[in-house]
């Protein structure tokens, strides 16, 4: 090999080595990773799905929108539609005429039975108990012997006092005769009279003391408790026997300040005991003052209990009719609030202007709510009362609140079965709402 060809050969060899080294790099640069391809395909698919507009809840197809447009055209032709209402015309509301009726509300209260009377018999003198004439649960009549104490020397004291009275009586008679004949002064006669009266007083004290050894029942009743036995020593003021009077039986209930004026004396009440017994009674007492703790008034109902079947201290449920008042039967839906939070109704006067009347709820029943403090007759707004202000002029449309109003339709979402039901208003109600929204 010639010397000149050697450098050229070396240069060619370097070029071949560089080309072979760069070949893998070019192959790696033009290669495509599989993960990149998958990501691109997913992005293209998502974009195509969004562009189709098939997402749930978006605009319905033309076939579904056509009936909706027709329904809107029909509503526009109905009463109260903004399209048909000339400018400045009053807002349409649905009303009904209400007439007050006599009504007695029934208060449902809880109480308990209470004995008419309860007495603790105590000794009035000292002495040993020699007889207990009753046992627990015995029925006693007024005047029956209950407990007897030993008389001790009380009978001797009685005889002594009786003898002294006889002596003093003789002395007075003699002094009186002598005084009348003038043989004795009036002073001696007065002294004899005083001694006679003192002896008589002493005799009376002994008789009273002797009577205290016998304890009698103060009324007809039942022996509730017996605290002594024969041989015990009685002291004044210490309880011996407790009696209760169960006829008549009383039921005590607590009535609130708002309802106490509705209760009338002699009113008949239905009573059901927790034991299952049912009976009737009449209001016998209404407390003149309220309890400081509860601000309620105690009312007592008297029940005849001749056989003692009703027991003291049993929980009761009482249905007590109140005084008869004139009230209106309304649907709760017509009630509304005024600016200061009072519950009432909005009515229409003779000039078709809105008037607010506050009400007092007398009774809430399944067939309607009875309210008072309203005029005897009035025209009440039943649809749209929340959207008209007091004093505004309206265009009333008649409709009975109970008979003319159809039952609400309950719609259920066909997709979400767990969704709460939707209450649909009537078409006429929707018209009023749409008009007031304008």
Q: What is the pLDDT of residues 355-397, one digit of tens each?
A: 999 998 888 888 889 999 999 999 999 888 888 889 999 989 8
Render pLDDT for 105-118 as a digit per residue (tens, 0 to 9). Answer: 888 999 999 999 99
In words, the CATH class of domain 116-234 is mainly beta
> From edge to edge, which strands make up the β-sheet containing 325-330?
101-103, 325-330, 368-372, 360-365
Segment 87-100 shows an average pLDDT of: 85
The CA distance from 361 to 380, in Å, is 16
Query: What would the two tokens of residue 358 be?
Result: 């506050």
- The answer as to CATH 2.40.420.20 being correct for domain 91-103+326-437 is yes
Cβ neighbour number for residue 319 with a 10 Å cutoff: 14
Q: Where are the domains of the chain?
A: 91-103+326-437, 108-113+248-324, 116-234
Given a cut of 90, whether residue 346 has pLDDT beyond it is yes
Q: Could you tell me which residues come within 8 angstroms of residue 5 by beta carbon, excluding any fewer than 6 positions away?
A: none
Span 255-283, average pLDDT: 91
- Statement: the pTM of the whole predicted model exceeds 0.85: no
Assess contact for 239 and 223: CB atoms under 8 A: no
**Whether residue 436 has pLDDT greater than 60:** no
CATH of domain 108-113+248-324: 2.40.30.170
| 94 against 414, higher pLDDT | 94
- Mean pLDDT over residues 125-148, rounded? 92
- Is 90 exceeded by the pLDDT of residue 148? yes
Q: Lowest-pLDDT range, 17-31, 145-159, 382-396?
A: 17-31
pLDDT at residue 58, rounded to an integer: 45
> Contact, 217 vs 143, CB < 8 A?
yes
Most confident of 73-77, 81-85, 180-184, 405-409: 180-184
Cβ contact 171:195 at 8 Å: yes
- Give whole-number Cα distances, 86 to 78, 79, 81, 428, in Å: 14, 12, 10, 19
Which residues does residue 201 pair with via DSSP β-bridges, in sequence order?
Answer: none
Q: Under a CB-based contact definition with an 8 Å cutoff, are residues 94 and 111 in contact?
A: no
**Which pLDDT score, from 0 to 100, does residue 414 have?**
42
Give the DSSP H/E element, type plus range, for residue 262.
none
Residue 182 CB partners (closer than 8 Å, separation 6+): none
């Amino acid at each position: 090999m010639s010397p000149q060809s050697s450098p050229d050969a070396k240069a060619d060899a370097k070029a071949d080595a560089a080309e072979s080294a760069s070949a893998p790099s070019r192959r790696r640069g033009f290669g495509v990773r599989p993960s990149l391809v998958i990501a691109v395909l997913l992005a293209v698919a998502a974009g195509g799905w969004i562009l189709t507009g098939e997402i749930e809840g978006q605009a319905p197809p033309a076939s579904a929108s056509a009936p909706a447009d027709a329904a809107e055209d029909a509503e526009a032709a109905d009463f109260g539609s903004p399209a048909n209402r000339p400018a400045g015309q009053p807002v349409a509301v649905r009303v009904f005429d209400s007439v007050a009726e006599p009504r007695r509300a029934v208060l449902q209260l809880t109480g308990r039975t209470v004995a008419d009377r309860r007495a603790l018999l105590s000794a009035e003198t000292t002495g040993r108990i020699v007889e207990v004439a009753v046992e627990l649960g015995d029925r006693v009549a007024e005047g029956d012997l209950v407990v007897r104490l030993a008389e001790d020397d009380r009978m001797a004291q009685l005889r002594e006092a009786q003898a002294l009275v006889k002596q003093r009586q003789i002395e007075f008679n003699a002094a009186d005769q002598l005084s009348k004949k003038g043989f004795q002064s009036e002073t001696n006669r007065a002294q004899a009279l005083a001694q006679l009266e003192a002896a008589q007083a002493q005799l009376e004290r002994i008789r009273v003391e002797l009577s205290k050894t016998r304890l009698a029942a103060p009324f007809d009743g039942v022996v509730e408790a017996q605290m002594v036995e024969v041989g015990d020593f009685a002291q004044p003021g210490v309880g011996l026997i407790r009696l209760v009077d169960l006829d008549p039986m009383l039921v005590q209930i607590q009535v609130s300040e708002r309802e106490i004026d509705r209760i009338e004396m002699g009113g008949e009440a239905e009573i059901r005991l927790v034991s299952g017994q049912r009976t009737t009674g009449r209001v016998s007492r209404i407390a003149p003052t309220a309890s400081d703790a509860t601000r309620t008034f105690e009312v007592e109902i008297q029940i005849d209990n001749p056989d003692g079947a009703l027991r003291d201290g049993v929980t009761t449920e009482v249905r007590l009719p109140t005084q008869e008042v004139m009230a209106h039967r309304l649907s709760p839906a017509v009630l509304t609030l005024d600016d200061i939070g009072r519950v009432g109704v909005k009515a229409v006067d003779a000039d078709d202007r809105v008037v607010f009347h506050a009400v007092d709820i007398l009774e809430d029943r399944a067939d309607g709510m009875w309210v008072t403090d309203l005029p005897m007759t009035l025209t009440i707004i039943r649809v749209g009362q929340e959207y008209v202000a007091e004093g505004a002029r309206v265009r009333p449309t008649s409709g009975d609140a109970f008979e003319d109003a159809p039952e609400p339709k309950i719609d259920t979402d066909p997709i979400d079965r767990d969704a709460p039901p939707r209450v649909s208003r009537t078409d006429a109600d929707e018209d009023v709402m749409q008009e007031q929204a304008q």
